[in-house]
Chain A
Amino acid sequence: MTILVIAEHNNDALKTDTHKVVAAAAAIGGDIDVLVAGANCGAVAEQAAKLTGVSKVLVADNACYEHQLAENLGLLVADLGKGYSHILAAASTTGKNFLPRSAALLDVAQISDIIRVDSADTFARPFYAGNAIATVKSNDSIKVITVRTSAFDSVEETGSASVESIDNAQDAGISSYVRSELTVSERPELGSARVIISGGRGMQNGDNFKMLEEVADKLGAGVGASRAAVDAGFVPNDMQVGQTGKIVAPELYVAVGISGAIQHLAGMKDSKVIVAINKDPEAPIFQVADFGLEADLFEAIPELNSKL
């Protein structure tokens, strides 16, 4: 059995998502190869070669992979993947974008968002917004899988795999990159943050999120939001935690002014410790919170900030 892991990166640096996908691959067992597809991504390949358990890093360095367009990456992975027993990628927006395309080209199913490896062909995944967990057995010759990274611990960086260039770049020529508008933040990324503090509709406006940011800075936390806060235009949508946003499992999740709708809980209920601050004692968030504080957030958050 040989497993192909597709690296998650931005052409400069490897993302920690990849460390977690390699951990999932190690749980399946077998040799692990990592594919780094990008442009001028040599540094990423060197980082990937350090991941514990990786035997080989394949680098597809070509301008057509710079923006990881699904049409080009999907072809490459389908082509390369024919020689593997498993193909794994993070269940990030990149992985979710190209991997089903590769699976269809290989004429096999994809198993999305696995949270547990039972054996080489059996995996657990949540569905119905995390209200049920299915144990799924794949009968395909190649198992194509996206991994919920919050469910696996990162592997160490003690390895020294060989790095090999591959040169079978194909530009599908049916799509092109136009531009990107990325949110700039000095705080930790939500996916890897140890602590997350999130605001909901109760924050009332975007300016009030500054209160959360001050607390976040003291805790070294990431700042998230509920869909209500995003839809109301308080904060950009890449901060959204939930079934349709990011799925996180930090050590500490502080929900401020968030009622706790099913959609939101799907994104954070695997956090180790959940704190809810809400003035409505009936809010469903209190049913999953380890520590609940029934209080007006406009009093509690400044107080919390001053006392930390």
Chain B
Amino acid sequence: MKILVPIKRVVDYNVKVRVKSDNTDVDLSNLKMSINPFCEIAVEEAVRLKEAGVASEVIAVSIGEKACQEQIRTALALGADRGIQIETDAQPQPLAIAKMLAKVVDAEQPQIVLMGKQTIDGDNNQTGQMLAALTNMPQGTFASEVKVDGDKVEVTREVDGGLVTVALNLPAVITTDLRLNEPRYASLPNIMKAKRKPIAVQTPEELGVEISNSLDVLKVEEPAARSAGVMVESVDELIEKLRTTAKVI
């Protein structure tokens, strides 16, 4: 079976972003960019399914400016077979992204779409669910275990009270939680090999999707800063402060 893995180029998770002084957006100039951590886990899971003989081909797809080819190359170095870049300088919101991915699903007919549960920039946690709705596929969100069994897949999901396992008919969309696996590092020979793997470039127009975002960002601000606290010398002083100053115990 084919597995499609949508990935996103985002600011590296260790970077603390700053808001632009004109409050229009966060300032991403000259920041380190990486593959979104949840997407990396999706790539790893797809490659593991290929190594286990379940999947025959892993296709990485990313939507964005030319630079997102770097992240597709990363996925290829981790074991994906080929890449698709949908090139646009616009910043599509999750619904538009899901519409473009739905077109790729139409063309490629994967049995599983494996993707991150959220990106660490937008923190939306929507795209996988929206793609599943648009393609009428079942969804296994926040997956911590994936088992393919014939024409079904069993997905163990991380939910608020613990774990829930669901069985989904294939084809299905699965979104990854952090505990699904530990992504591997790309070795130098694999990075070199990845340079020769093909990346097909398409445009939203070729897919027949018009990027129209219905949410306008009016303003981006820094969150309210917490006022500096005090250091206490002892447990006694701590208890005393919590009782009398903060009055929380």
Contact surface of A with B, Cβ cutoff 8 Å: 67, 69-71, 74, 92-94, 96-105, 107-113, 122, 126-140, 172, 174-183, 191, 195, 219, 227, 230-231, 236-238, 243-244, 246, 251-252, 262-263, 269, 272-275, 286-295, 300, 303-304, 307-308
Contact = CB atoms under 8 A, between A and B. Distances in A.
Nearest to A8: B160
Given A109-B95, A179-B165, A252-B242, 19 more contacts: A97-B129, A97-B139, A100-B133, A101-B130, A101-B132, A109-B93, A109-B94, A110-B95, A112-B123, A131-B26, A137-B215, A138-B214, A179-B164, A182-B163, A227-B178, A274-B226, A291-B232, A303-B235, A307-B235
8 contacts: A102-B133, A134-B217, A174-B137, A175-B166, A180-B162, A252-B248, A291-B242, A293-B231
Interface stretch (B12-20, B58-66, B83-91, B183-191): B12-20
Contacts of B203: none
B135 to A, nearest CB: 10
B125 A131 contact: no
B54 interface: no
Contact of A131 (B16, B134, B138, B232): B16
B161 interface: yes
Contacts of A300: 235
Contacts of B16: 131, 262
B167 A129 contact: no
Given A109-B215, A132-B17, A244-B177, A104 B236 contact: no
B248 A308 contact: no
A141 to B, nearest CB: 9
Nearest to A112: B124
A93 B231 contact: no
Contact of A112 (B125, B229, B236): B125
B144 interface: yes
B67 interface: no
Contacts of B229: 274, 286, 288-292
B168 interface: yes
Nearest to B136: A174
B246 interface: yes
Nearest to A301: B235
A12 B134 CA distance: 32
Contact of A122 (B13, B14, B218, B231): B218
Interface in B180-227: 213-223, 226
Categorize the interface residue count of chain B. 35 or more
Nearest to A110: B126
Please classify the interface of chain B as helix (H, G, I), strand (E, B), loop, or mixed, using the class held by over half of its residues. Answer: mixed
Contact of A71 (B123, B128, B139): B139
B35 to A, nearest CB: 16
B53 interface: no
B148 interface: no
Contacts of A287: 228
A183 B160 CA distance: 9
Contacts of A103: 95, 126, 130, 133
Best-buried of A94, A109, A138, A140 by chain B (most CB within 10 Å): A109
Best-buried of A92, A100, A102, A227 by chain B (most CB within 10 Å): A100
B249 interface: yes
A135 B218 contact: yes
Contact of B130 (A104, A275, A291): A104
Contact of B239 (A129, A183, A308): A308
A110 B163 contact: no
A264 to B, nearest CB: 12
A287 B138 CA distance: 44
B241 interface: yes
B160 A105 contact: no
B232 A292 contact: yes
B33 interface: no
A96 B125 contact: yes
B162 A109 contact: no
A129 B122 CA distance: 9
Interface string B1-24: 000000000010110110100000
B121 A127 contact: yes
Contacts of B241: 291
B158 interface: yes
A138 B93 CA distance: 12
Nearest to B163: A181
A179 B165 CA distance: 5
B120 interface: yes
B133 A105 contact: yes
B236 to A, nearest CB: 7
